[in-house]
Copies of this chain bind each other. A is one copy, B any other.
Amino acid sequence: MKKVVKFGGSSLASAEQFKKVGDIIRSDEARRYVVPSAPGKRFDGDIKVTDMLYECYRAAEKGEKIAGKIKKIQARYQEIIDGLGLDLKLDEQFAEIEKNFIAQAGSDYAASRGEFLNGIVMANYLGYTFVDPAECIFFEDNGNLDGEMTYKKLAERLGGIDHAVIPGFYGSLHDGSVKTFSRGGSDVTGSIVAKAIHADLYENWTDVSGMLVTDPRIVDNPAVIETITYKELRELAYMGATVLHEDAIFPLRQEGIPINIRNTNRPQDKGTVIVESTCYKPAYTITGIAGRKGFASINIEKDMMNSEIGFGRKVLQVFEDNGLSFEHMPSGIDTLTVYVHQSEFEEKEQNIISGLHRAVAPDAIDLEADLALIAVVGRGMRRNRGTAGRIFSALAHKHVNVKMIDQGSSELNIIIGVENRDFETAIRAIYDIFVTAQL
């Protein structure tokens, strides 16, 4: 059994947090490959080490003295080292970093030192081998991961090591210079490592006890999702839910490796498991609710449009010619509505209207702005008849006017269009009916 465990910055901000992480790792001998982030904020208003490094490097670029700033950063690590009672000095590393900063080694190099140093501390603390990702994670010159070389080298390097610490967030270009991930950071490193060693599980330890059913800014203290499929996750993420970046999910989805999102501060919580597919019955009929404001709808009316072959295609062609992608296209008999992002639409509004007139000669075009889309997502909806009924009854009860309904054959989600001002009310109503009332 092999688990890759990744810890976020807040899990490694102080010696106290390091000890929690140590306890977690030592409590399960399968936790053999550890991916640490750089130390995060210890308290509100604190500065992350990565931000200190950026600031220090900017000073170096301007030719300013940086010895004082370097010393401050080293103090952050020394505080952790001392707190853990380790016999470890980072003087040599900091001297080299200072030299490279002055030699303008690049901001990617600068940023990556937070993880690099934390990896050294972590390896020392755990007694694991330190593996520098600059030697086994590679990028193409265009910034994309060189997957072929990376997975080959990682498998080779880690194949002979039972227990290793591999810092997150960076690798190297083929010329050897350090390059960071442009999106997803250390989560992506953990995911790549898990894929490379064919891990049984990828644990992603953060400061929340998993993914929440909905946005905690809208619903107080929402329930945690126990199990979610990649597909559900992708749908919720698309609609604005904060989760792992797509780039961190993609390598694992390819391999079918589950992800467990856990809370370093509450290791007793089971967190959220993200899986390819599962028979595990969800706790509630729905898995999650997410949504976004800021859509506009273009409602096109034309008598007998259904008998015009190519009508819908011509409408979409106009949007495409204007570089706009559409979100949904619900249709009645003689009406067809296109939902787009309002901000993208506004600047092209008149071009699109005149384009539609030329393309399909509609009887009427109506625009409506300030709309929100809400996705109610859940593999359990297929099994539970009446989900749609409960949603729309709940919305009616809260006086929410439903502008659009869209449910395709996947039966995995229902998309609902409401006015922006009804957005929070609608999400709360749906949450209450499925989670609070457990209907």
> Which B residues are in CB contact (< 8 Å) with A375?
332-333
A406 to B330, CA, bound (A): 6
Stretch at the interface among A66-74, A131-139, A411-419: A411-419
Stretch at the interface among A51-59, A177-185, A234-242: A234-242
A368 within 8 A of B: yes
Assuming the contacts A234-B303, A309-B320, A327-B306, asked whether A388 and B410 have C-beta atoms less than 8 A apart, the reply is: no
Interface centre among A231, A316, A324, A326 (most CB of B within 10 A): A316
Find A389's partner among B366, B392, B408, B409 (CB 8 Å cutoff). Answer: B392
Assuming the contacts A306-B325, A407-B402, A410-B332, asked whether A389 and B391 have C-beta atoms less than 8 A apart, the reply is: yes
Establish whether residues A385 and B407, one from each chain, have CB atoms under 8 Å apart when the complex forms.
no
A395 to B387, CA, bound (A): 11
Stretch at the interface among A15-23, A89-97, A152-160, A334-342: A334-342
Closest B residue by C-beta to A406: B330
CB distance from A276 to the nearest CB of B (A): 13
A320 to B315, CA, bound (A): 13
Establish whether residues B385 and A389, one from each chain, have CB atoms under 8 Å apart when the complex forms.
no
Establish whether residues B397 and A386, one from each chain, have CB atoms under 8 Å apart when the complex forms.
yes
CB distance from A312 to the nearest CB of B (A): 5
> Which B residues are in CB contact (< 8 Å) with A329?
312, 329, 331
Establish whether residues A335 and B385, one from each chain, have CB atoms under 8 Å apart when the complex forms.
no
CB distance from A258 to the nearest CB of B (A): 18
A323 within 8 A of B: yes
A152 to B53, CA, bound (A): 87
Establish whether residues A388 and B411, one from each chain, have CB atoms under 8 Å apart when the complex forms.
no
A335 to B324, CA, bound (A): 18
A405 to B408, CA, bound (A): 7
A343 within 8 A of B: no
CB distance from A190 to the nearest CB of B (A): 21
Report A293-319 CB contacts with B as 1/0, cut-off 8 Å.
000010101011011111111001101
Closest B residue by C-beta to A318: B313
A25 within 8 A of B: no
Establish whether residues B312 and A324, one from each chain, have CB atoms under 8 Å apart when the complex forms.
no
Establish whether residues A320 and B310, one from each chain, have CB atoms under 8 Å apart when the complex forms.
yes
Assuming the contacts A329-B312, A331-B328, A333-B375, asked whether A388 and B403 have C-beta atoms less than 8 A apart, the reply is: no
> Which B residues are in CB contact (< 8 Å) with A396?
385-389
> Which B residues are in CB contact (< 8 Å) with A297?
409
Establish whether residues A394 and B389, one from each chain, have CB atoms under 8 Å apart when the complex forms.
yes
Find A330's partner among B326, B368, B408 (CB 8 Å cutoff). Answer: B408
Closest B residue by C-beta to A368: B409
A348 within 8 A of B: no
Find A309's partner among B239, B310, B324 (CB 8 Å cutoff). Answer: B324
A421 within 8 A of B: no
Find A405's partner among B235, B333, B405, B410 (CB 8 Å cutoff). Answer: B405
A159 to B187, CA, bound (A): 84
A325 to B336, CA, bound (A): 14
Closest B residue by C-beta to A250: B303
Establish whether residues B405 and A414, one from each chain, have CB atoms under 8 Å apart when the complex forms.
yes
CB distance from A422 to the nearest CB of B (A): 11
A107 within 8 A of B: no
Establish whether residues B403 and A395, one from each chain, have CB atoms under 8 Å apart when the complex forms.
no
Closest B residue by C-beta to A230: B303
A6 to B312, CA, bound (A): 38
A402 to B408, CA, bound (A): 10
A393 within 8 A of B: yes
A401 within 8 A of B: yes
A227 to B396, CA, bound (A): 26
Given contact pairs A313-B313, A329-B331, A368-B409, enumerate 7 new A-B contacts (beta carbons under 8 Å): A234-B333, A299-B408, A328-B330, A332-B415, A385-B396, A385-B400, A404-B409
